[in-house]
Amino acid sequence: MIAAVIMAFGSTIVTTSCNKKKDSVNTTSEKSQFVNVTDVVPDVILEIRYYGTYNFVGARIDGYEAPTALLTKQAANALKAVSDDVVKQGYRLKIYDAYRPQKGVDHFVRWAADANATEMKEYFYPDLDKSVLFDQEYIMAKSGHTRGSTVDLTLFDMKTEKELDMGGTFDWFGPESHPDFCGNPETGEYTGDNSKSPKGRSITAQQFANRMILRRAMLKHGFKPLDTEWWHFTLENEPFPNTYFEFEVK
């Protein structure tokens, strides 16, 4: 049976319907449990890709009204511990995306359904026909980012004053972005195995090692990785595992 569920978030009461299926979710525009990441992690560098046009869509994404990063309080506090860790190693965190409003995800879905919108194909998905993006789950109707405790990020090397070379760009659609590409992320061992790459692309031992620096720091401080994106991490004990937020990034 379908039941009405009423959830209270601060002064806002949200009514939604759900059933016992595993994919039931709640949506809300309440944002009292979120913080601006730079207020908690002052060392962080921001390059919010979906506020600009250098992203796989090639346009500013709906819901991004400012080039800032928002996260739940819990995720931001955990990220502060990560930042303190990597700063001691000579790096700073650089964020590409954090909280993503549902309307931003909806924008991705509309874009993926438009077979003619391929302006950024050569930069982000040259090996794929756009028609497979849904089937291969590069684009999905729901995203962990919308729950507010997921972040996409890399490392900035303070010595070179450049991003640490990870051997691939953020939001590259392909096996080259997988944490286990050319190595074993569980052991940190570089194998050089690039057999999953459709074009025989590869990354070096140093590039794999750089990915592992970020991964180790994130896992050490309570984040869990995604097996298809080296830059993507979610707070393991995220406070809103079944709630998808709708307020804009501003």
- Give yes or no for a contact between 46 and 67, defined as CB atoms under 8 angstroms apart: yes
Active site residue 161: no
Measuring CA to CA, which residue among 140, 142, 138, 114 is closest to residue 128? 138
Which whole-number Å values give the CA distances from 10 to 13, 30, 90, 161, in the listed order?
A: 8, 8, 40, 42
**Among 163, 229, 246, 248, which one carries the catalytic annotation?**
229
Q: How many CA atoms lie within 13 A of 150 on its CB side?
A: 21
- Give yes or no for a contact between 222 and 235, defined as CB atoms under 8 angstroms apart: yes
Measuring CA to CA, which residue among 60, 76, 93 is closest to residue 249? 60
Catalytic residues: 229
